């Protein structure tokens, strides 16, 4: 389908740099959204994920939202989509990946960039209880998860349409960028590693020998952490094997649902090309690539009254999908 942004993206004055966009958005997005109810969803392997959800009008669309690395249903970008859905009379469900709802999950394994089984189970669950169309949104890590889900399910995807913002389609290249030199790369890296290591320590106390604790503590890069923890917990031979298996970029041709791929060329966590060029060959994909915007940023307007252009375009994309559906 054809989709054009409602307005071009113009960075807010004073937020022209990639790091300003990224950091300002992460700190200032409003976190007040619609009233949510917490649901515990039991998984086939004996674990669980927590959902935060609300109902829409009968027959209205329902949006499932997947957060990024170490995010949750409380992340500002998640709340923005839920708020937009509520304002339209739609329903919404935010999936908290395993260990991200504020309560440790039951098993040694957790979540990772290529694990889409939990999201698929949740979408099927939501699909079975709604009467309107199901849409899905993924941010950053959650965007890669959503793409992998769409690639593997093809024409059988439970979601009628999807949108992905700032996804790391090439996990190896993304890791290379995050682990690179510079004070901002260090800031992003340390922010992720702080909570990842906290969870890993708690996990090791409950499951001694699940991975090498000394290697985990010594990890100063995302790749080293994935080598020490993510890979062994999820059946990979190491970080490189994990990145190769979990990256969505090589299989974007398999997506069979209208899907918006939104990224910025100056994303500080990705390496150019931030969206694989092959994506333009799939007629089901709409590529929206801006020169500026940072990582899950896209802040326009003014500093004292920012507007989050990317969140608005995701919702506008779903509006256009809905408008194109037969009445």
User: Contact, 145 vs 66, CB < 8 A?
Assistant: yes
User: Contact, 92 vs 85, CB < 8 A?
Assistant: yes
Take residue 322 and report the two structure tokens written for it. 């809905």
Catalytic residue among 140, 157, 247, 320: 140
User: What phi-psi label fits residue 293: left (phi over 0), alpha (psi between -120 and 50 degrees) or beta?
Assistant: left
Neighbours of 214 (CB within 10 A): 8
d(Cα 176, Cα 114) in Å, to the nearest integer? 18
Known catalytic membership, residue 267:
yes
Catalytic residue among 295, 300, 311, 320: 295
Known catalytic membership, residue 234:
no
Neighbours of 112 (CB within 10 A): 23
Known catalytic membership, residue 295:
yes
Catalytic residue among 26, 267, 300, 311: 267
CB within 8 Å of 61: residues ≥ 6 apart? 85, 88, 90, 91, 132, 133, 134, 135, 318, 322
- Compute the 3-state secondary structure of the chain and give helix, strand, coil in percent, each to the nearest 5: 40, 15, 40
* Catalytic center residues: 140, 267, 295
């Amino acid at each position: 389908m054809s989709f054009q942004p409602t307005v071009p993206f113009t960075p807010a004055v004073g937020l022209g740099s990639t790091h300003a966009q990224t950091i300002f958005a992460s700190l200032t997005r409003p976190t007040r959204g619609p009233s949510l109810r917490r649901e515990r969803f039991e998984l086939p392997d004996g674990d669980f994920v927590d959902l935060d959800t609300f109902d829409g009008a009968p027959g209205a669309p329902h949006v499932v939202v997947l957060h990024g690395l170490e995010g949750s249903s409380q992340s500002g970008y998640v709340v923005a989509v839920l708020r937009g859905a509520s304002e339209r009379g739609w329903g919404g469900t935010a999936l908290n990946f395993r260990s991200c709802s504020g309560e440790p999950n039951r098993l040694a394994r957790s979540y990772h960039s290529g694990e889409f089984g939990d999201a698929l189970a949740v979408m099927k669950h939501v699909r079975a209880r709604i009467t309107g169309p199901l849409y899905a949104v993924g941010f950053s890590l959650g965007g890669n998860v959503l793409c992998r889900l769409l690639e593997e399910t093809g024409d059988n995807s439970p979601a009628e349409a999807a949108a992905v913002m700032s996804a790391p389609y090439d996990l190896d290249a993304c890791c290379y960028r995050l682990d690179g030199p510079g004070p901002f790369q260090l800031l992003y890296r340390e922010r992720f590693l702080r909570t990842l290591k906290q969870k890993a320590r708690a996990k090791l106390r409950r499951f001694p020998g699940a991975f090498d604790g000394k290697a985990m503590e010594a990890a100063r890069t995302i790749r080293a952490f994935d080598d020490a923890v993510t890979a062994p917990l999820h059946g990979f031979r190491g970080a490189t094997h994990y990145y190769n298996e979990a990256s969505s970029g090589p299989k974007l041709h398999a997506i069979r649902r209208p899907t918006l791929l939104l990224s910025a060329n100056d994303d500080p966590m990705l390496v150019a090309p931030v969206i694989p060029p092959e994506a333009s060959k799939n007629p089901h994909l709409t590529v929206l690539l801006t020169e500026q915007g940072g990582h899950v940023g896209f802040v326009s307007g003014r500093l004292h009254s920012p507007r989050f252009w990317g969140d608005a375009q995701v919702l506008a994309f779903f509006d256009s999908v809905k408008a194109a559906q037969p009445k």
